[in-house]
């Protein structure tokens, strides 16, 4: 059974995540650019060509008139199309999967943790990183 303390911790964790998670704050279909424009909680604006969004590619501009933000700000939804797109998908469509992968790898590589520090010290005591062998 869940204790009161566990519930308090879960609520505190959810509130913290709510403050730090990137969300869609405003969204619209820009007919002139034929693109979906999403303003994010970070202050950035994401513009994705309509034809790049699989569920929106073959529909008319009028069908995107009811574009709305999903609860929690995690995506966009059109009742007319009965289809939507998540913020993660919009990011992939805007910058490409390879670029996002590179950004993620660089971000994770720059993080410092106790485990990394311990492993680095241990490798240093062994003489450091092994030298590359000539092929």
Q: What is the pLDDT of residues 32-86, one digit of tens each?
A: 999 999 999 999 999 999 999 998 988 888 888 889 999 989 999 999 899 999 9
pLDDT band at 16 (very low <50, low <70, confident <90, very high): confident
pLDDT score recorded for residue 46: 93
The upper half-sphere exposure of residue 62, i.e. CA atoms within 13 Å in the direction of its Cβ, equals 0
Write the DSSP string, 21-55.
S--EEEEEEETTTTEEEEEETTS-EEEEEGGGSTT
Domains parsed from the chain with CATH numbers: 23-109 (3.30.2020.40)
pLDDT score recorded for residue 74: 92
71's tokens: 């609860």
How confident is the model over 100-128, as pLDDT tens digits? 888 888 887 777 778 877 887 888 888 87
pLDDT score recorded for residue 135: 64
The 10 Å Cβ neighbour count of residue 67 is 21
Residue ranges in the chain assigned as alpha helix (H): 4-20, 87-95, 97-109, 114-125
Average pLDDT, integer, range 20-43: 92
């Amino acid at each position: 059974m869940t204790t009161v303390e566990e519930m308090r911790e879960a609520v505190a964790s959810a509130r913290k995540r709510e403050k730090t998670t990137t969300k869609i704050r405003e969204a619209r279909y820009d007919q002139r650019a034929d693109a979906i424009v999403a303003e994010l909680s970070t202050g950035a604006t994401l513009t994705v060509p309509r034809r790049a969004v699989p569920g929106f590619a073959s529909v008319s501009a009028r069908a995107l008139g009811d574009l709305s933000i999903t609860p929690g700000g995690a995506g966009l939804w059109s009742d007319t199309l009965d289809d939507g797109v998540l913020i993660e998908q919009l990011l992939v469509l805007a910058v490409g999967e390879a670029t996002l992968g590179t950004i993620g790898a660089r971000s994770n590589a720059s993080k410092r943790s106790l485990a990394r520090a311990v492993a680095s010290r241990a490798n240093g005591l062994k003489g450091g990183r092994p030298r590359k062998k000539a092929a």
